[in-house]
Amino acid sequence: MRDVITLACSECKRRNYATTKNRRNTTEKLELKKYCKWDNKYTMHKETK
């Protein structure tokens, strides 16, 4: 039931991370604060297709 999703940086728009999410329990888009090595800081990363 868990699907693989990718997380993209909200500032540089690069897809930096891949994680899994249970779509039955979490229907909204996932947002996490992660480190972006191109921006050299912690930024919000949003779920993309």
Asked if residues 33 and 25 have their Cβ atoms less than 8 Å apart, the reply is: no
Q: Which two tokens stand for residue 46?
A: 């949003």
CA-to-CA separations, 16 to 1, 10, 31, 44, 49, in angstroms, rounded: 23, 11, 13, 11, 13
pLDDT score for 1: 83
Distance linking the first and last C-alpha atoms of the chain:
17
pLDDT score for 24: 93
pLDDT score for 47: 96
Q: Please give the Cα distance from 25 to 6 (Å, whole number).
A: 18
Q: What is the pTM assigned to this prediction?
A: 0.85
